């Protein structure tokens, strides 16, 4: 396994981050335990979850499963860099959503209880809360850090200018601020290259990537649909995007087959090698999926293949950061 500092911090995280969105929903508790054990055995020390995960059954289910796994011992908690998130509603009450000081402090206590731990390594704002001023957000986060309940603060689904506004506000308070931003980034969705990634790099904020396979679309979707083995690919983001990108995906799968490569491994290898990316969040349902993601770390894509990928999935405008992406 390969490790890298999280953004500008000294915290070492694996280049693969185990996403837990499936735990308790598409993956049973026993299978979730097995995946976490295997991930840790293979050197993956970075796990990502959210307070709302498991909402299809009940909110908080996934954190509870991880907490039960920690409770089985074996120094599991000490070995894991644990990331979770706050923002989404946990009930219908108006103050049980967003990132107000009240919400974050109360949510952190509930999360710690579900996870059966004393601290959160990376506490991420799951979305921008346009109603919450940065002074309020940082006051609450500073308190949680001082109390030892949170080690680092992260964001997710922010725009580039949100990172700048957040970090400048933190700088004025002499607070470390945001250490990582978790965003969607893959061959299909490359808009992050224009402003988000450049802003993150400039401020020393690590980029964590969710949905590197675009909901399974880049993981051999057409072949799986034809074979009748598609699960995640047959719903959600992947199916919506397939209507628009079917011809491109067909050519992509043909290109991978011509090179003797697995489409999922190609997509993961491409994403994890992009500038500014610290880690990619993978959501395996099986140990075979986990094995493929690990193989992708050692996959070296040739220059010719990279050019073909740019042709099939062109970057925004002229490519690269703004304003050069569209201006002289």
Q: Kindly report whether the peptide bond that precedes residue 278 is cis, defined as omega within 30 degrees of 0.
A: no
What are the C-alpha distances in Å from 84 to residues 124, 153, 227, 282, 304?
6, 10, 36, 15, 39
HSE of 70 in the Cβ direction (CA atoms, 13 Å)? 21
d(CA 283, CA 211): 8
Phi, psi of 302 (to 5 degrees): -70, 160
**Closest by Cα among 9, 24, 87, 75 to 45:** 75
HSE of 122 in the Cβ direction (CA atoms, 13 Å)? 31
Pairing of strands 277-282, 46-48: unpaired
Which residue numbers are catalytic? 53
Are 196 and 181 contacting, i.e. CB atoms less than 8 angstroms apart?
yes
Helix (H/G/I), strand (E/B), else coil: 295 = helix
């Amino acid at each position: 396994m390969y490790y890298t500092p999280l953004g500008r911090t000294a915290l070492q995280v694996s280049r693969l981050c185990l996403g837990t969105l499936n735990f308790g929903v598409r993956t049973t508790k026993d299978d979730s335990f097995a995946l976490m054990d295997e991930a840790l055995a293979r050197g993956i020390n970075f796990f990502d979850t959210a307070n709302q995960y498991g909402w299809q059954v009940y909110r908080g289910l996934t954190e509870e499963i991880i907490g039960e796994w920690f409770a089985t011992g074996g120094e599991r908690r000490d070995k894991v860099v644990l990331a979770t998130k706050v923002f989404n509603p946990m009930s219908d009450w108006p103050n049980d959503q967003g990132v107000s000081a009240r919400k974050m402090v109360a949510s952190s206590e509930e999360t710690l209880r579900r996870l059966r731990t004393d601290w959160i390594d990376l506490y991420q704002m799951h979305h921008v809360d346009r109603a919450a001023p940065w002074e309020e957000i940082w006051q609450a986060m500073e308190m949680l850090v001082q109390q030892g309940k949170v080690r680092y603060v992260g964001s997710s689904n922010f725009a580039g200018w949100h990172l700048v506004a957040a970090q400048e506000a933190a700088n004025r308070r002499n607070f470390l601020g945001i250490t990582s931003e978790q965003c969607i980034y893959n061959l299909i969705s490359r808009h992050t290259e224009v402003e988000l990634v450049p802003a993150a790099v400039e401020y020393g904020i690590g980029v964590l990537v969710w949905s590197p396979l675009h909901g399974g679309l880049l993981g051999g979707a057409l072949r799986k649909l034809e074979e009748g083995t598609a699960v995640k690919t047959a719903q959600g983001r992947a199916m919506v995007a397939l209507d628009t990108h079917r011809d491109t995906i067909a050519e992509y799968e043909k290109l991978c087959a011509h090179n003797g490569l697995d489409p999922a491994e190609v997509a993961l290898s491409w994403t994890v090698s992009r500038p500014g990316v610290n880690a990619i969040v993978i959501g395996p349902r099986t140990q075979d999926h986990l094995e493929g993601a690990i193989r992708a770390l050692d996959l070296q894509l040739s220059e010719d293949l990279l050019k073909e990928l740019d042709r099939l999935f062109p970057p925004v405008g002229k490519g690269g950061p703004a304003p050069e992406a569209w201006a002289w």
